[in-house]
């Protein structure tokens, strides 16, 4: 017998979801993103932009990014995003109530090491930023691993890598 940890409804063994509240009833360990093997290939680093432009003062309001295009995988699938709020990238998991705006499940996100809540994009002071959300397999920006929860500015032409999944960024103003 399995008791739902959320609503306390009893269920027969091997039940996946609670009939009353929808909570996932199996071991949390079976839903995890598996770390990539150390010997798996990593995409070659792309040269970073001129450091002087990365540390430039905030842009004028007229140059706020209006559309961000994400070219995901190879061959690329394009996502067009209007960033009026924070955009989350990851994999859909209804059982855990995770619904990222950019769902990379169909781009073989699990196989590429993409976490459910992998990274987020947001605008601050007219600059687009990316932030790794403590993902298991990490996020790379132009070949350099990002520190978790430390936002980094993104420019048009940059390449993100979530786990092993490459994403080319194009920003339109």
Q: How far is CA 144 from CA 44, 62, 147, 152, in A?
A: 10, 30, 10, 11
Indicate if 16 and 99 belong to the same structural domain: no
Indicate if 23 and 73 belong to the same structural domain: no
For residue 23, give the 3-state DSSP assignment. Answer: coil
Residue 113 has pLDDT above 80, yes or no: yes
Residue 49 has pLDDT above 70, yes or no: no
Indicate if 20 and 73 belong to the same structural domain: no
pLDDT confidence bin for 133, thresholds 50/70/90: very high
More confident call, 132 vs 41: 132
pTM: 0.67
Q: How many domains does the chain have?
A: 2
Phi, psi of 82 (to 5 degrees): -100, 110
> What pLDDT, on the 0 to 100 scale, is given for residue 32?
60
User: What is the residue range of 21's domain?
Assistant: 1-29
Residue 167 has pLDDT above 70, yes or no: yes
Residue 8 has pLDDT above 60, yes or no: yes
Q: Which residues contact 56 (CB under 8 A, 6 or more apart)?
A: none
Indicate if 89 and 160 belong to the same structural domain: yes
Q: ω before 75 within 30° of 0 (cis)? A: yes
CB atoms within 10 A of CB 55: 8
Indicate if 81 and 162 belong to the same structural domain: yes
> What pLDDT, on the 0 to 100 scale, is given for residue 31?
57
Indicate if 68 and 150 belong to the same structural domain: yes
Residue 47 has pLDDT above 60, yes or no: no
Q: Which residues contact 84 (CB under 8 A, 6 or more apart)?
A: none
């Amino acid at each position: 017998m399995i008791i739902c940890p959320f609503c306390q409804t009893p269920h027969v063994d091997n039940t996946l979801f609670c009939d009353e509240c929808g909570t996932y009833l199996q071991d949390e360990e079976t839903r995890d993103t598996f770390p990539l093997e150390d010997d798996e290939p990593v995409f070659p680093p792309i040269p970073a932009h001129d450091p002087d432009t990365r540390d430039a003062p905030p842009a004028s309001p007229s140059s706020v990014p209006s559309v961000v295009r994400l070219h995901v995988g190879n061959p690329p699938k394009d996502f067009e995003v209007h960033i009026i709020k924070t955009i989350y990238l990851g994999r859909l998991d209804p059982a855990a109530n995770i619904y990222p705006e950019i769902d990379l499940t169909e781009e073989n996100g699990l196989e590429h090491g993409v976490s459910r809540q992998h990274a987020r994009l947001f605008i601050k002071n007219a600059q687009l930023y990316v932030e790794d959300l403590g993902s298991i397999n990490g996020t790379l920006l132009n070949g350099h691993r990002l520190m978790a929860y430390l936002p980094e500015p993104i420019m048009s032409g940059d390449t993100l890598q979530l786990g092993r999944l490459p994403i080319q960024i194009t920003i339109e103003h």
